[in-house]
Structure 1
Amino acid sequence: MKAHLLAETHEVFNQVPPLDGANLYRVDLPLQEWTRRYQGGWAEVRIDAYGALAGGELMAAGFLANENKPVFHSHDRYGHRIDLIEFHPAYHQLMSAAIEHGIPSMPWTEPRAGAHVARAAMSYLHSQAEAGSGCPLTMTFASVPALKLQPDIAEQWLPKILSTQYDPRNLPFEQKNGATIGMAMTEKQGGTDVRANTTRAYPVGQAGPGQAYELIGHKWFCSAPMCDAFLTLANTDKGLSCFLLPRHRPDGSRNELYIQRLKNKLGNWSNASSEVEYRGALAWMIGEEGRGVPTIIEMVALTRFDCMIGSSALMRQALTQAAHHCAYRQVGGRVLNQQPLMQNVLADLALESEAALALTLRMGKALDHPADEQESKFARLVTAVGKYWICKRAPAMINEAAECMGGAGYVEDSILPRLYREAPVNSTWEGSGNVQCLDVLRALSKEPGVLDALFSELGDGHGDARLKTHIQHLQAAFRDTGDIQYRARQLTEDVALALQATLLLEAGNATVSDAFIASRLGAGGRVYGTLPRGVAAEALVARSTPHLL
């Protein structure tokens, strides 16, 4: 027998064809439908183009950017302090594509009905290819309302922030074609409790909004430290205030911002998160002195919205991979997605993904109508509800999707491990679960009209007795104020499920809404794949499987 024949030990078969290069918009029927439903259809050509980009070259770039983490260089070879972070070219490719297509700028430069929805759809596609680059993109997008509270500063910075040119050069922003914005809020001793911050701000000359200060202190988390400026918090004699701190001083010299180290994180590897110190760093006050938290909340509200988008995107990509795998892989001589138990699991994952998307884009619609009182109050509440619920659901959902693929979903050749590592950052960043739930209570109890806006949105169950009963129980739960903080997570979950069920019912796809209500508001199981009898599982699987669309 010839030696080369001995090397051929087996035939390779029963393998899944690659999904490389798929247009992520075209394989996502729910995204198409919900984008149109909430007035984002005018941007469909642009969204479709980004879907092709995300599923092709950006998907490939995402793997490279995560395999080659950013590297911190504190000094140059001559011993000069430089505080620079080196990124792989793939990271710059991802940033450039997003900025050129308007992901951080679209709603501000094209303020029309559906702009926030269209932008959310494109961010949803981008995050499926690579989520770490979403951090500076989100903060740049979200900085705009906060900066507008200080018009003189906004006039200088917004033209560069809203530019569609990505310019990563280490130069003063005046010399650049575009700028990105980061954020630095939390400190070692306080974390989420920013009232415990000790960083101090000292006026250089005249004090007050728009004036220059020097900051001394530290930040335990500074995301994307290669941004051109950062919104940050520091104390003055009147209390915690908000500042814009650029990386360079007006004379072109580097600011007194010192990176101590990069964070060694569970996921989010392509993004450089850091610890920094301010040693007399020059910054300008944004908004009213002593009102730093309300000022920076203008930014935080939008970054929380992007946590909803990001988690929804991770779930969708996990579902896409699992559904594609199960459409080809055979076990026991039968294709997996034709087997009843796997249909139960995949259908359940599909419901979770679509409900998350529906609530996220409904939030986008609310942001598109800020002058509408109902929409404004809806956005105030759902920012916290959606941030809590969708981000909490993502890790377990992605884990289940990986399990559908067996060992193929566990190895790093697959995108599933990266999606799984990435998921917890959205539930932790910008306020963890308890922070969101307490914010829900704060909004409902202390802000007039928010509770009424919620129940106006929910109505009477839209003819579904199960949803009507759930809403009635929810009303009773809010009337009972005893130990309400203890019950805050359950209340927030019940609000989220009521909203998702309502949105799915209103959309008119009975296959989706009936399955969601039966499984989420009924006496179902506690893990995915426990849908009740009578659910149209096969149709739900077909709705989410790329090659069947």
Structure 2
Amino acid sequence: MTDWQQAERFLATTHQVENQPPALENYNLFTQDVALQEALKREGAEWAKASVHVMGELAGRAETIRLGFQANANKPQFEPQDRFGHRVDYVDYHDAYHQLMTLATEHGLHASPWADPKAGAHVARAAKYYLHTQVEAAHGCPITMTFAAVPALQHQPDLAQYWIPKILHNSYDPRNVPDTEKQAVTIGMAMTEKQGGSDVRANTTRAYPVAKEGPGQVYELVGHKWFVSAPMCDAFLVLAQTKAGLSCFLLPRWRPDGSKNPLQILRLKDKMGNVANASSEAELRGAMAWMVGEEGRGVRTIIEMVAMTRYDCMIGSAAGMRQATVQALHHCQHRAAFGARLIDQPLMQNVLADLAIESEAAMTLTMRMARAMDSQQDEHERMLARIAVAAGKYWICKRTPEHAYEAMEVIGGSGVMENCIMPRLYREAPINAIWEGSGNVQCLDVLRAVQKQPECFAALMTEVKRAAGSHKQLDAAIAALPKRLEQAQEQPFFARQLVELIARTLQGALLQQHAPNEVADAFCNSRLGANEHLGYGRLTDAATAKQILSRAWPK
């Protein structure tokens, strides 16, 4: 045998693959999340532990994780007409997207607090949503909008009587057929236009009464919408101008007689992230719609829907942080370099512990707001939610992109590859910060809330003072809040400084009350006071890093 023939025998096995982490799959996201288990009990939904456990197991299955990859690898495709030439405005999604939607609706993520409104209902739903969207975030958009539409529709009882039972149905029907042929529907939202964006009062779409005018009456809408997300929903809450001003309308995809309603999709948006979910531009060519709520008070009517979608942005971003943290921890647990496992190396422990702290703080604030949603009959809870959801939406969503990047860097070159979830988490990370009101909109909303209802700031102060005396840096932050508010009220130029301090102080207060000392003190030492930082890997207490990591990933 020649030397070449002998070498050729081994060409198929030039090396042995080693020092590579196994795929992170077939694990339970809930049982591996100690902080979430504690929050579920603390915030009043321990009764839901079994169903949340099921969701955690489903989210960790290899086949469920694969659905997330498939849904994003196969973008929705727009078909304006069928093969015979009939206008259908059809958006074709990959079957993986439909399977994820089915999982979400069967487990009540779109409606459970409305279907069974009891103590802890919002907390239980938030926990499940937090677990499920770690698999794939984009399909959460129609789930969130359907969930958030209920408070707005309740302003119009005659419409609510027909539509809400279909919303509450725990099933998913993706067919492009009239709502009269469906037991279950999804609801979308179309507010913004080219010339205004977040300034919806600049909308030019007009609504013309077909016969009578006023709430519950039929109108025809003429104009455009610059951003219609999830255009295959069965109906949309939209804003249009009437003689009395901007009003809210419910616009179905099909008319009651079964004919196509002329909300015509022009094209799908070509987005950098959130690609499994279609977003579109559309024109309304006399589209039929019913007025919802008081004429001329459309923003007031739809703002309850917007408030709920903003809250879900908190859940979604916190979920993204958690999944990024878990991916980084799992990688470092199985990867060695320079003679030791990465998770045992001091500098890497600093980075990982910092990521874990930020993730837990985001989840803790989010779950506290879920309890506030459950307790809207309580004045303190209602006022706290009014200010803290806006601040939390701003801060948690703002922190997510850097968090995702840092976790990606931990994994290294493999974390940039599209067969890893990290590129998707990174592309998704900025979305929630921009959608449903960007950072400046949230900050101005905080100032507006305090101006109209000063008691909401009082509720915030009451909440954070529950942790007074537990940490020097936290006490200083609490004391600084009134001065920061006064400064921002006099000069909105400083509104971001106020809102960031509100969010970080509230997170610190909650962690001091509910998290282990090593987590709470590390957060307050690094995020509050003279030593505050916004980067990662700058913690100062090396002794507690291992405790923080074992809590974050007890595998």
Using structure 1 for the length normalisation, give the TM-score: 0.98
Residue aligning to 1:45: 50
1:497 and 1:449 mapped to 2: Cα distance?
20
2:64 and 2:124 mapped to 1: Cα distance?
19
**2:430 aligned counterpart, secondary structure:** helix
Change (3 A) 1:508 1:328: closer
2:526 to 519, 526, 530: 519
Residue aligning to 1:20: 25
Structure 1 residue runs without a partner (length 5+): none
Preserved contact between residue 58 and residue 130 of structure 1 (Cα < 8 Å): no
Residue aligning to 1:538: 546
In the alignment, does 2:150 pair up with 1:150? no
1:93 and 1:406 mapped to 2: Cα distance?
32
**1:405 aligned counterpart, secondary structure:** helix
Residue aligning to 1:355: 361
Deviation string, structure 1 residues 367-392 (Cα, Å, up to 9, x no partner): 00010000000111112101100000
Preserved contact between residue 241 and residue 285 of structure 1 (Cα < 8 Å): yes
Deviation for aligned residue 1:469: 1.2
In the alignment, does 2:493 pair up with 1:492? no
1:309 to 301, 306, 315: 315
Deviation string, structure 1 residues 238-279 (Cα, Å, up to 9, x no partner): 000000000010101110110000000010010000001100
Residue aligning to 2:477: 470
Stretch moving more, 277-286 or 168-177: 168-177
State the identity as a percent: 57
Residue aligning to 1:342: 348
1:22 and 1:354 mapped to 2: Cα distance?
20
Residue aligning to 1:400: 406
Deviation for aligned residue 1:534: 5.1
Residue aligning to 1:450: 456
In the alignment, residue 83 of structure 1 is paired with which amino acid?
D
1:531 and 1:245 mapped to 2: Cα distance?
52
Stretch moving more, 69-78 or 453-462: 453-462
2:137 and 2:307 mapped to 1: Cα distance?
19
In the alignment, residue 476 of structure 1 is paired with which amino acid?
K
1:93 to 95, 99, 102: 99
Residue aligning to 2:537: 529
In the alignment, residue 228 of structure 2 is paired with which amino acid?
C
2:466 and 2:185 mapped to 1: Cα distance?
47
In the alignment, residue 527 of structure 1 is paired with which amino acid?
G
Stretch moving more, 31-40 or 367-376: 31-40
Deviation for aligned residue 1:483: 4.6
Preserved contact between residue 136 and residue 180 of structure 1 (Cα < 8 Å): yes
Change (3 A) 1:87 1:482: closer
Change (3 A) 1:460 1:170: closer
1:10 to 12, 15, 21: 15
**1:271 aligned counterpart, secondary structure:** coil
2:41 and 2:303 mapped to 1: Cα distance?
30
Residue aligning to 1:76: 82
**1:462 aligned counterpart, secondary structure:** coil
2:535 and 2:518 mapped to 1: Cα distance?
21
**2:221 aligned counterpart, secondary structure:** strand
Preserved contact between residue 34 and residue 361 of structure 1 (Cα < 8 Å): yes
Change (3 A) 1:481 1:29: closer
1:139 and 1:257 mapped to 2: Cα distance?
18
Preserved contact between residue 353 and residue 545 of structure 2 (Cα < 8 Å): yes
Residue aligning to 1:434: 440
Preserved contact between residue 461 and residue 471 of structure 1 (Cα < 8 Å): no
Stretch moving more, 216-225 or 18-27: 18-27
Deviation for aligned residue 1:198: 0.2
Preserved contact between residue 359 and residue 499 of structure 1 (Cα < 8 Å): yes
In the alignment, does 2:135 pair up with 1:129? yes
Deviation for aligned residue 1:6: 3.3
In the alignment, residue 466 of structure 1 is paired with which amino acid?
Q
In the alignment, residue 93 of structure 1 is paired with which amino acid?
Q
**2:462 aligned counterpart, secondary structure:** helix
In the alignment, does 2:216 pair up with 1:204? no
**1:379 aligned counterpart, secondary structure:** helix
Count residues in correspondence.
Answer: 547
Q: How does 1:293-332 map to 2 (within 5 A)?
A: 293-332=299-338
Deviation for aligned residue 1:508: 4.7
2:170 and 2:244 mapped to 1: Cα distance?
38
Change (3 A) 1:472 1:227: same
Deviation for aligned residue 1:462: 2.6
Deviation string, structure 1 residues 104-160 (Cα, Å, up to 9, x no partner): 111011111111011001111111001010000000000000000100000010110
Preserved contact between residue 245 and residue 283 of structure 1 (Cα < 8 Å): yes
Change (3 A) 1:85 1:458: same
Change (3 A) 1:386 1:482: closer
Deviation for aligned residue 1:281: 0.2
Deviation for aligned residue 1:446: 2.2
Deviation string, structure 1 residues 75-111 (Cα, Å, up to 9, x no partner): 1122221110101110100001110111111101111
Alignment root-mean-square deviation, CA = 1.2
Residue aligning to 1:283: 289
In the alignment, residue 97 of structure 1 is paired with which amino acid?
L
Deviation for aligned residue 1:481: 5.2
Deviation for aligned residue 1:2: 4.2
Structure 2 residue runs without a partner (length 5+): 1-5
Stretch moving more, 129-138 or 4-13: 4-13
Change (3 A) 1:482 1:55: closer
1:413 and 1:424 mapped to 2: Cα distance?
21
Deviation for aligned residue 1:535: 5.5
In the alignment, does 2:511 pair up with 1:507? no
2:240 and 2:352 mapped to 1: Cα distance?
48
Deviation string, structure 1 residues 48-77 (Cα, Å, up to 9, x no partner): 101111111321111100001100001112
Change (3 A) 1:526 1:142: closer
Change (3 A) 1:395 1:90: same
1:325 and 1:265 mapped to 2: Cα distance?
29
2:420 to 414, 418, 424: 414
2:524 and 2:543 mapped to 1: Cα distance?
10
Stretch moving more, 71-80 or 310-319: 71-80
Residue aligning to 1:256: 262
In the alignment, residue 10 of structure 1 is paired with which amino acid?
H
Change (3 A) 1:481 1:80: closer
Preserved contact between residue 312 and residue 353 of structure 1 (Cα < 8 Å): yes
**1:285 aligned counterpart, secondary structure:** strand
